[in-house]
């Protein structure tokens, strides 16, 4: 049975264009909404319409465009973007299926596609017994997609340049990104220029702490603008999260342990964390117990950690894969008894327990089977793989 898809904002790449083309080839209809110049650029020849109003106009606009049953399904990337938030209650009221794409829960080589929402809005149960009762066969290993950061950056640059070029056609558009592209890429260029130094420094510090056999807890940071922090956590910023973790560690962690804070690999440096953490460590009298890494080999750091603290990063699943005690301070799909510490942070440092690996693998099999698609959003090979998997999943959703 043919379906009618309304595609809202997608990735800064050709993924939504290729997906639309594939759906049309299978006799579905697709109309795309362009909210900015980048959307217009990557819409290509897809049937599309420009939204040129303001965020405050969106609720009425979505109601009008969805009313009357013209669309059976909505596609979007990032369910917490301001341009998407007004859609959810309207689609639910009208019985329109919403399909949300996001970066993969499982990394690398996977992306996420869920009905209703992802991350903190995901409808996946948080009851471990549910997964034990709904076991699925172990999935095949994902094929490499050829993903690389440079291709992703090139798409992002093109998207932002188109935003500037066509700005007059979308006067009410406000990006979900907190800084303009020029500022962010200037900061990233500075960071990449220091990358070799950061890598050498991280390797040296990692070797030193492992050779000393000093126990440590690992706290990997997330991006400050990520909806996982902004929407699905109790913190207003990554700095707030750092302060919360460090104050708890200083007061309650064993005195013979260290705290390793690892920065996110895509952090722009526009918000300074190292100096902030080091100054706070002096105040908390734990300067000799803090190690701040701008780089580092994450599997090695996870493998030897006494425990791992995350807000709600997908690194949490990697920590479980390495059989590390884990606490999630925000909303996370994997935060449930048996996998994460269910007590408070202050008690985690002494009371953390190992995860139930049988539960973890049962949960992982379910997540991959029901929410993950082998592919990526940015490379030619990865997009082709992702489109094939997404079309299959979307068509199956009509019968679910």
For the ranges 155-169, 182-196, 262-276, 323-337, which has the lowest average pLDDT?
182-196
Cβ neighbours, 10 Å, residue 238: 23
Structure tokens at 7: 């595609």
Whether the ω angle into residue 2 lies within 30 degrees of 0, i.e. cis, is no
Please, what are the domains in the chain?
4-159+372-397 (3.40.50), 194-362 (3.40.50)
- Is 108:33 a contact under the CB 8 Å cutoff? no
User: Is the predicted pLDDT of residue 400 greater than 70, yes or no?
Assistant: no
User: Is the predicted pLDDT of residue 381 greater than 90, yes or no?
Assistant: yes
CA nearest neighbour of 348 among 331, 327, 324: 327
The reported pLDDT for the residue numbered 354 is 97
The reported pLDDT for the residue numbered 255 is 96
User: Is the predicted pLDDT of residue 187 greater than 70, yes or no?
Assistant: no
User: Is the predicted pLDDT of residue 188 greater than 90, yes or no?
Assistant: no
User: Is the predicted pLDDT of residue 195 greater than 80, yes or no?
Assistant: no
pTM above 0.85, yes or no: yes
Task: Return d(Cα 184, Cα 194) in angstroms, integer.
Answer: 16
The reported pLDDT for the residue numbered 189 is 62
The reported pLDDT for the residue numbered 318 is 97
Give percent above pLDDT 90 in the chain: 81
The reported pLDDT for the residue numbered 182 is 62
- Is 230:80 a contact under the CB 8 Å cutoff? yes
The reported pLDDT for the residue numbered 101 is 98
Mean pLDDT, the chain, whole residue set: 93
The reported pLDDT for the residue numbered 141 is 87
The reported pLDDT for the residue numbered 186 is 65
Ramachandran area for residue 109 (φ above 0: left; ψ -120 to 50: alpha; else beta): left
Decide: residue 400, CB within 10 A, 0-12 exposed, 13-18 middle, 19+ buried: exposed
* Residue given tokens 């299926």 in the structure block: 97
The reported pLDDT for the residue numbered 15 is 98
User: Is the predicted pLDDT of residue 179 greater than 90, yes or no?
Assistant: no
Average pLDDT of span 315-320: 97
pLDDT tens sequence across 109-161: 999 999 999 999 999 999 999 999 999 998 888 999 998 878 888 898 899 99
Residue 60: what are its φ and ψ, rounded to 5°?
-65, -40
pLDDT tens sequence across 10-19: 999 999 999 9
The reported pLDDT for the residue numbered 325 is 98
Structure tokens at 303: 């493998």
pLDDT tens sequence across 213-242: 999 999 999 998 888 999 999 999 999 999
pLDDT tens sequence across 257-273: 999 999 998 877 778 99
The reported pLDDT for the residue numbered 149 is 79
Task: Return d(Cα 219, Cα 241) in angstroms, integer.
Answer: 10
* Residue given tokens 């697709």 in the structure block: 30
Confidence of residue 191 (pLDDT cuts 50, 70, 90): low
User: Is the predicted pLDDT of residue 256 greater than 70, yes or no?
Assistant: yes
Most distant CA pair in the chain, distance: 68
């Amino acid at each position: 049975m043919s379906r009618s898809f309304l595609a809202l904002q997608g990735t800064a790449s050709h993924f939504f264009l290729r997906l639309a083309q594939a759906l049309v080839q299978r006799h579905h209809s697709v109309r795309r909404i362009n909210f900015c110049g980048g959307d217009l650029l990557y819409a290509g020849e897809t049937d599309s319409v420009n939204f040129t109003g303001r965020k405050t106009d969106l609720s009425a606009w979505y109601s009008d465009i969805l009313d009357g049953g013209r669309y059976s399904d909505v596609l979007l990337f990032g369910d917490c973007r301001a341009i998407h938030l007004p859609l959810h209650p309207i689609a639910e009221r009208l019985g329109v299926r919403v399909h949300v794409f996001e970066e993969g829960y499982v990394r690398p080589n996977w992306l996420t596609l869920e009905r209703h929402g992802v991350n903190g809005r995901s409808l996946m149960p948080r009851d471990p017994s549910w997964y034990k009762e709904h076991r699925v066969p172990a999935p095949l290993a994902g094929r490499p997609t050829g993903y690389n950061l440079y291709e992703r950056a090139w798409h992002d640059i093109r998207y932002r340049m188109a935003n500037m070029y066509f700005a007059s056609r979308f006067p009410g558009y406000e990006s979900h990104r907190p800084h303009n592209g020029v500022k962010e890429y200037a900061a990233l260029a500075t960071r990449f220029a220091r990358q070799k130094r950061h890598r050498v420094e991280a390797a040296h510090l990692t070797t030193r702490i492992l050779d000393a056999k000093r126990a440590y807890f690992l706290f990997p940071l997330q991006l400050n603008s990520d909806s996982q922090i902004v929407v699905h956590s109790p913190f207003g910023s990554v700095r707030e999260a750092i302060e919360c973790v460090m104050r708890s560690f200083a007061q309650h962690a064993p005195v013979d342990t260290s705290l390793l804070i690892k920065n996110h690999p895509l952090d722009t440096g526009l918000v300074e964390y190292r100096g902030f953490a080091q100054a706070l460590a002096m105040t908390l009298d734990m300067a000799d117990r803090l190690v701040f890494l701008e780089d580092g080999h994450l599997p090695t750091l996870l493998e030897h950690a006494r425990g791992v603290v995350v807000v709600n990063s997908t690194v949490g699943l990697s920590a479980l894969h390495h059989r590390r005690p884990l606490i999630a301070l925000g909303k996370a799909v994997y935060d449930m008894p048996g996998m994460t510490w269910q007590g408070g942070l202050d008690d985690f440092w002494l009371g953390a327990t190992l995860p139930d690996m049988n539960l973890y693998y049962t949960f992982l099999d379910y997540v991959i089977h029901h929410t993950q698609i082998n592919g990526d959003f940015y490379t030619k090979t990865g997009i082709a793989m992702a489109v094939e998997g997404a079309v299959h999943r979307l068509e199956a959703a009509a019968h679910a």
